[in-house]
A and B are shown apart, each in its own frame.
Chain A
Amino acid sequence: MGVTVTVLSLIVLIPLSAVVLKAAEQSPAEFWAVATSERALAAYRLSFGAAFVAAAINGVFGVLTAWVLVRYDFPLKTVVNALVDLPFALPTAVAGIALATLYAPTGWVGQFLTPLGIKAAYNPVGVVIALAFIGLPFVVRTIEPVLRDAAADVEEAAASLGASRIQTIIRIVAPALAPAWLTGFAMAFARGVGEYGSVIFIAGNMPYKSEIAPLLIIIQLEQFEYARAATIAVVMLAVSFTMLLVINAVQAWARRFD
């Protein structure tokens, strides 16, 4: 118990307080000016916007993947199931250079997008692609256990009472999955907001256009603007804490139905 709290404080809590203290060295006006500068606002917009779109994409395909993995049988299912965790196991820098190469204008996928007028890599679209890769397992793995536990007999009951398959899915299956879906969405979103390694290779990193918030922290650091770096970090930490509270609240809400 004592050991746990001591190590936790030394490794996590005290270091995190350093960011807040560093940011607090500035006057509130200075803090506000840095936190809401044009360039910072553009970076938040990209980080939050891209993370939201990527989490939404995963919200759709994550549910389908979980559904197919739990309910259907098909060849090589074990392999497919293992592969879903690839984004957890693959270093983000590797994912970053692989995606940048694939979606570059001459890349395997990019060459088909260019004639359609879609510029994927070195553009905000690239940020969404990288975050969609990173976030997929969060949604699949939070929905999967709920889907597995959800007894098929409730669906059978619905059908025997005359509900069509579509009605059963909308009225019975979807509400049962909603809390897990929200949790997975929030986890994918939170991870996406802070993600760095997979994004910087494909983003192009143009200020005001394709520069993510974590990169802005690094740029400030490289210019030895520590207080400014800490300011952006405090804004991101505040968002992380909020997301954590939201996730906990959703899970507490979900447990009421158990």
Chain B
Amino acid sequence: MSRDKHTARRATDDPLWAKCLLIGLVLAFLALVLILPLVAVFAEALRKGLGAAIEAASNPDALAAVKLTLLTAAIAVPFNAVFGLCAAWAIAKHEFRGKALLITLIDLPFSVSPVVAGLIYVLIFGLQGWFGDWLVDNDIKIIFAVPGIVLATVFVTFPFVARELIPLMQEQGVSEEEAAVSMGASGLYTFWRVTAPNVRWGLLYGVLLCNARAMGEFGAVSVVSGHIRGLTNTMPLHVEILYNEYDFVGAFAVAALLCLLAVVTLVLKTMLEIAQPGVRGHGGH
């Protein structure tokens, strides 16, 4: 191939065959790794027809699991959203020593195994834990009960909102806040009228990811739940129980509901990215 002007001008354009080969390869890989499992869930759920799947997903135990999952997310997500706002505000708008360390510590739950996240709460609130005797005396149940499930979920979803907002707030700087304060606005007023509106899309983005993980968490919740049907089973735990009992239609029917949640999350996330290009790209997960 001669290196004439023509090829030089198109130097960053790969040849058509290379493009087609790479696109084909990537699409085949993604189809095998991502699409096939998704299709398999719905195929297995519908193996005995739509009726059987709907029945399996709406029996009392399954409904109790759906309720507990919604309740857990309804507590954990707002908690972490408020914390994320506070943390990002403190880190991005103020100067203090040890900031890098604080950011690393907020990220910590991402690199801790979910099983360890469950274990720590068993060691603190379990029967032989730090507060075990006191909790028994006062008839409070945390482990093998709903509070433990909420705590474990809060732990694993802790960084989602904060790490979405920190870079966003850092980019925006403090000039608008300084203007508000110089005109006599109080700190809290400035926060609600200036800072919060500026980051609302980033906040929504973080909440979306936080919610998906909160509803789907398995390892951490599995350690603290005790797997009591109808009482302490979240949807992912219910999937496990049904699967281990060889009730595949039931397991995949509940799993299909969780797949729908994942698909809705991805659709909303993509819409948000297209409408507000600034929200994306704040450093993965």
Contact = CB atoms under 8 A, between A and B. Distances in A.
7 contacts: A11-B154, A12-B108, A72-B22, A98-B38, A214-B115, A218-B115, A233-B113
Contacts of B106: 8, 12
Interface string A188-232: 001101111100010000000000011101100100101001100
Given A12-B109, A88-B212, A221 B223 contact: yes
B33 A18 contact: no
Contacts, number: 267
Contact of B265 (A74, A89, A156, A226): A89
A61 B31 CA distance: 13
Contacts of A226: 122-123, 126, 128
B27 A80 contact: yes
Interface size class of A (residues with CB under 8 A): 35 or more
A91 B112 contact: no
Contacts of B267: 82
A91 B32 CA distance: 18
Nearest to B159: A12
Interface of B: 3, 7-8, 11-12, 14-15, 19, 22-23, 25-27, 29-30, 32-38, 40-41, 44, 83, 86-87, 90-91, 94, 96, 102, 104-116, 119-124, 126, 128-130, 151, 154-155, 158, 209, 212-213, 215-219, 222-223, 235-237, 239-240, 243, 248, 251-252, 255, 258-259, 261-263, 265-267, 269-270, 274, 281, 283-285
Given A68-B22, A91-B217, A99 B37 contact: yes
A33 interface: no
Given A12-B158, A15-B120, A90-B38, 16 more contacts: A1-B96, A5-B102, A16-B112, A61-B29, A64-B29, A65-B26, A65-B29, A82-B267, A86-B262, A92-B218, A93-B255, A97-B255, A108-B40, A142-B283, A236-B113, A244-B108
B236 A92 contact: yes
Contact of A97 (B105, B112, B239, B261): B239
Contacts of A194: 111-116
Interface of B is mostly: helix
